[in-house]
Amino acid sequence: SCARPPPPPRGMRTKCPGSHPCSCTPETKTTIALLYDEESENAYDIRLKLTKEVLTIQKQDVVCVGGSHQGRNRRTVTLRRQPVGGLGLSIKGGSEHNVPVVISKIFKDQAADQTGMLFVGDAVLQVSIVHVHLLRNAGDEVTITVEYLREAPAFLKLPLGSPGPSSDHSSGASSPLFDSGLHLNGNSSTTAPSSPSSPIAKDPRYEKRWLDTLSVPLSMARISRYKAGTEKLRWNAFEVLALDGVSSGILRFYTAQDGTDWLRAVSANIRELTLQNMKMANKCCSPSDQVVHMGWVNEKLQGADSSQTFRPKFLALKGPSFYVFSTPPVSTFNWVQAERTYHLCEVLFRVHKFWLTEDCWLQANLYLGLQDFDFEDQRPYCFSVVAGHGKSHVFNVELGSELAVWEKSFQRATFMEVQRTGSRTYMCSWQGEMLCFTVDFALGFTCFESKTKNVLWRFKFSQLKGSSDDGKTRVKLLFQNLDTKQIETKELEFQDLTAVLHCIHSFIAAKVASVDPGFMDSQSLARKYMYSS
């Protein structure tokens, strides 16, 4: 018997153990993992069960499945010492280590095993044997009271090797990390051997089973691999937090591959549920106000005095707007409660970091032709959204695939909005004269007088050969005259120059994509490298 059943092959979908009917479907994914307690720094054995909508945390327990004591966990068992094998069990821990006395090994076909009432992970409750060494000197018949310890630290239930009946580890100081030297399978008495322990037909029957202890709904849930309030990445571990605040706790996996597989699997289920929520929301929205994408991210806080460098945010691309929420919008009314709302044509999406290997960063600057910015965040899979007046938000996601989805979704939402609106017009001035500047998906650039509507000049997108600006309000646009082939400079002044430049970028990118749909995919560094790690 072993406290931790061997994990199933990686990626395998399994059936629930036990004799009771199981509701698992082929889409159910299970594994053995650890639940880590940061305060005590202990880890507890758990079983994870993942379905399309719920992540369930299961803990092992001993349950009575027959006899007159059904449902009771606490058991009193009488062991008769055998001439070969003794009591047939090993124990760990003790009050001298400030940990419970726990059965760490039960030897097959020996006294403890034959009772059918003792299990690895049982805590010994009888006061007279709190000091574990008293068991070694007990007589031929020992009565102990036990109860399965569902949250015993995993190290208390891990058997060390497979010591045989003749093994002797009694020398040296005992440690809670190792067997206490009490492999109680030796004959400490010269008296005649007693008959082995055996269950009576009417005695209660016990089984060790995995029982559901916590269910985390995955709809609108988020995943975090970072320790709260720090930049400390939890290797091989993550936490799932439901919309209602329920937390899975810190789930730790035995290998990096298992951790990665489960991170992707849980993320995939959350993403699928998010798509279902989007479809439901879009049934109530007009064709011009559809949700293109939404999901959780982490936003980098501004200011050096912040105690937390990143905080969770929920982003949405819907109709003409980009939304930033503190919590997901679950009703129509919630959409007007966003912390920030920006027009999609006037923001610029940038991928600026993703992880190729553990210590190799690829800097990706997609800020085409515009001023670069210096980012100091240390997390992988980061992107930024730069808005009007130079306002910038820096976000991080947990997976490279999520970064690629956000990049693609921003492009799609922006291009749809450009084609939907067709044009945008901004007030501007030059030499004291009030003008209007229009960016048109079909016509290109047009400048006209605000009062008379008299057109001063018009150029196609293809005629724009360059630009420069003072970083404040003024911009110079360089156009090539189709007749003379000469460069003409047009200088204008805008109240919000950044928004205008972003709009120009959005319209040109949408124009290129309409002519060559594969161009933007070829420029996507996030999709190109998301599987390179």
Which DSSP string do the residues of 377-445 spell out, in sequence order?
A: ---SSEEEEE-GGG-EEEEE-S-HHHHHHHHHHHHHHHHHHHHHH-EEEEEEEETTEEEEEEEETTTEE
Predicted local confidence at residue 233, as pLDDT: 84
| pLDDT: which is higher, 177 or 486 | 486
- Give the distance, in angstroms, between the CA of residue 122 and the centroid of all CA atoms in the same chain: 33
Is 11 inside a domain boundary? no
Residue 346 and residue 448 share a domain: no
Statement to judge: residues 336 and 428 lie in one domain: no
**Does residue 511 share a domain with residue 443?**
no
Least confident residue range of 22-36, 337-351, 498-512: 22-36
Helix 400-421 to helix 497-515 angle (10° resolution) is 90
Q: What is d(CA 466, CA 273) in angstroms, rounded to the nearest whole number?
A: 45
Statement: residue 136 has pLDDT above 70: no
- Tell me what percent of the residues of the chain surpass a pLDDT of 90: 47
Q: 191 CB contacts (<8 Å, ≥6 apart)?
A: 140
What's the whole-number mean pLDDT along residues 406-433? 94
In 253-346, beta strands by DSSP E:
291-300, 310-318, 321-325, 340-343
Q: Which helix (H) or strand (E) element contains residue 147?
A: strand 141-148
Least confident window among 15-24, 108-117, 166-175, 200-209:
166-175
Q: What's the pLDDT score for residue 307?
A: 55
pLDDT 10s digits, 215-231: 999 999 999 998 877 77
Per-residue confidence at 425, pLDDT binned at 50, 70, 90?
very high
- Quick check: pTM over 0.85? no
- Which of 123-137, 364-378, 432-446 ranks highest by mean pLDDT? 432-446
- Confidence at residue 188, expressed as pLDDT on a 0 to 100 scale: 41
Residue 318 and residue 221 share a domain: no
Given the structure tokens 């975090």, which residue do they identify? 224
Per the domain annotation, does 159 fall within a domain?
no
**Maximum average pLDDT range among 282-286, 289-293, 528-532:** 289-293
CA distance 89 to 74: 18
413 domain residue, yes or no = no
Burial of 255 (0-12, 13-18, 19+ CB in 10 A): exposed
Q: Which of 450, 462, 461, 457 is nearest to 491 (CA)?
A: 457
Residue 306 sits in the same domain as residue 399: yes
Assigned domain for 164 exists: no
Element (H, E) at 63: strand 54-66
Establish if 453 belongs to a structural domain.
Answer: yes
Nearest Cα neighbor of 91 from 140, 149, 139 is: 149
Contacts of 296 (CB under 8 A, 6+ apart): 222, 223, 312, 313, 314, 315, 328
Q: What is the CATH number of the domain that holds 111?
A: 2.30.42.10
Report the CATH number at residue 255. 2.30.29.30
Task: State the Cα–Cα distance between residues 150 and 59, nearest whole angstrom.
Answer: 6
Same domain, 289 and 388: yes
Handedness of CA 334, 336, 338, 343 (dihedral sign): positive
What is the rounded average pLDDT of the residues 333-358?
82
Shared domain check, 68 and 55:
no
Coil, strand or helix at 483: coil
73, 147 Cβ separation under 8 angstroms: yes
Q: For residue 19, is it within any domain?
A: no
Which structural domain range is residue 246 located in? 29-60+210-264
> What is the reported pLDDT for 169?
33
Find the mean pLDDT for residues 129-153. Answer: 67
Q: How many domains does the chain have?
A: 4
Residue with more model confidence, 462 or 235: 462
386 and 520, same domain (yes or no): yes
Model pLDDT, residue 71: 52
Do 126 and 245 share a domain, yes or no? no
Do 388 and 525 share a domain, yes or no? yes
Q: Pick the residue with more confidence: 41 or 460?
A: 460
- What pLDDT was estimated at residue 305? 55
Residue 168 forms part of a structural domain:
no
pLDDT at 370 over 80: no
In a shared domain, residues 249 and 338:
no
* Domain shared by 54 and 77, yes or no: no
CA atoms within 13 A on the CB side of 46: 26
Per-residue model confidence as pLDDT tens digits over 14-62: 444 443 434 445 589 999 999 998 888 888 899 999 999 999 999 988 8
Among 46-55, 336-345, 367-376, the minimum mean pLDDT is found in 367-376
**Arithmetic mean of pLDDT, 509-515:** 91
Q: Is the pLDDT of residue 178 over 80?
A: no
Does 189 map to a domain? Answer: no
Residue with more model confidence, 343 or 21: 343
pLDDT digits (tens, 9 = 90+) for 258-281: 999 999 999 999 999 999 999 999
Flag the least confident range among 40-54, 170-184, 192-206, 419-433: 170-184
pLDDT at res. 172? 34
Residue of 305 and 77 predicted with greater confidence: 77
Q: Is the model's pLDDT at 163 over the cut of 60?
A: no
